[in-house]
Chains A and B, each alone.
Chain A
Amino acid sequence: MCLGIPGQIVEMVDGDANLAKVDVAGVRRNVNIGLVADEGVGVGDFVLIHVGFAMAKIDEVEARLALEGLQRMGQAYADEMQAVRESGIS
């Protein structure tokens, strides 16, 4: 749960509910972007996601480093991705 996982915003889903679709290592799910809205995030931007919420805007290099770091974690990464896959935020 403490793992932050990087994702790229691919679509704005619902402006009122602050929902955006992100691509996390090839899996596309909705997350809430309300906490980074002030930073002016849009399609194409990378964000660090914790439990379904974008917590910080990051650049592409950091996104890649963070994902590689997580992938080296093995089981913890597999569990996190499994949880992301089962998520259905709406």
Chain B
Amino acid sequence: MRFVDEYRDPAAARGLLGRAAELSKGGEYKFMEVCGGHTHTIYRHGIEHVLPDEVELVHGPGCPVCVIPMGRIDDAIAIAERPGLIFTTFGDMMRVPGSRGNLLDAKARGADVRFVYSPLDALRLARENPRREVVFFAVGFETTAPSTALTLLRAKAENVTNFRVFSNHVTIVPPIKAILESPDLRLDGFIGPGHVSTVIGQRPYRFVPAVYHKPLVTAGFEPLDILQAIVMLLEQLVAGRCEVENQYTRCVREEGNPRALEVLAEVFELRPHFEWRGLGFISKSALKLRDTFADHDAELFYEVPGVRVADPKACQCGEVLKGVIKPWECKVFGTACTPETPIGTCMVSSEGACAAYYNFGRLHREAAKAVALHR
């Protein structure tokens, strides 16, 4: 177990793996880790190679960069290319491909596209450039949406009229439901997202055991956290239990962060539909600004194409996002599609399954094969 030696506490890791082997004996278990941060940890630390053969991990849709459809990138570029406008976004979004290139290409064509660390940095730009319009391209799950909400509240309070938000915030529960409803997937349980849960808490997941009879264990981002969550899932299944449990009590509380939920409700409302890359339209799965913030809503203010663009033919991100295929099974993986020249979104962010596998998993797989050959 070469990889385990690199973990913070190899003895604890061995203990958990032994327990997982005991519990999973004679069975076959497929668990989905919903969050991209977990996918990253799993590939980075070769977790899939140290797990018993009976346990398979499937990577879910929890990377917000990976689920933005091409049409929304085209809309973002249309806004960014308006003369005089300053378009701001997180660094990760710069290389996400639209149908006519990405935001970096727009920048090269002359658009003023800047990356920011925080929506508050975008608001500061708006204050410093009162004569120019500043738009923030907001993406992310409930982890980042409260930040956008608080920034909007502040913009309104300070009357920064040249600041607008292009909201692409999404919510975590509807895609989990969509995956549970999807006919081509058999799952035995979920590793619940860590940071999203610091905001929404544990209650919103109760439908997973109640309606679909699958356990869900919210986990932290250390390799040991993930191993422990897997053991907790197996313990539930072996004992015939099926519940929402919390492995990440260091950060996640049952009720989440009430203040964050309050500001979300104050600023945003659910969109009737939103398109998810690879998953299609999911109803009530994304957030738009409430009418009271109409003055700050880029979608109302600017004309955007709003066209649905089909994913490139070669791209199999949808199947990767649903966990139907593994990244390396995509036909263009590592050849036409690499982190430098991504075709699909899963190759862009370091938390996308394809990028995480390209950067780390590949090497582990080769190493694991080599080890197996010499056994």
Residues in A lying within 8 Å of B, measured CB to CB: 1-4, 17, 31-32, 34-38, 48, 50-53, 55-56, 58-59, 62, 65-66, 68-69, 72-73, 75-76, 79, 83-84, 86-90
Contact = CB atoms under 8 A, between A and B. Distances in A.
A52 B117 contact: yes
B120 interface: yes
A1 B140 contact: yes
A73 B41 CA distance: 8
B260 A35 contact: yes
B147 A52 contact: yes
Interface of B: 8, 35-37, 40-41, 44, 63-65, 90-92, 115-121, 124, 139-141, 143-144, 146-147, 150, 154, 195, 198-199, 221-222, 250-251, 257-260, 263, 350-351, 359
Given A2-B140, A66-B221, A32 B257 contact: no
Given A1-B144, A32-B150, A69-B222, 4 more contacts: A1-B64, A1-B139, A4-B143, A51-B119
Tell me if A's interface is mostly helix, strand, loop or mixed. Answer: mixed
Contacts of A65: 8, 222
A83 B257 CA distance: 25
Contact of A51 (B44, B118, B250, B260): B118
A57 B221 CA distance: 17
Contact of B120 (A32, A35, A62): A32
A83 B119 CA distance: 12
Contacts of B250: 58-59, 62
Given A2-B37, A32-B150, A34-B150, A55 B257 contact: yes
Q: Closest 10 interchain pairs by CB?
A: A52-B118, A87-B117, A76-B350, A83-B117, A1-B90, A53-B147, A89-B120, A62-B250, A56-B198, A51-B118
A17 B157 CA distance: 11
A49 B142 CA distance: 14
Given A2-B195, A76-B350, A35 B150 contact: yes
Q: Pick from A4, A35, A56 the residue with the most CB of B within 10 Å.
A: A35
A73 B40 contact: yes
B61 to A, nearest CB: 13
A29 to B, nearest CB: 8
B44 A72 contact: yes
A34 B8 CA distance: 33
A31 B242 CA distance: 40
Contact of A84 (B117, B143, B146, B195): B117
Contacts of B139: 1
A76 B40 contact: yes
Contacts of B35: 2
B351 A2 contact: yes
Contacts of A3: 37
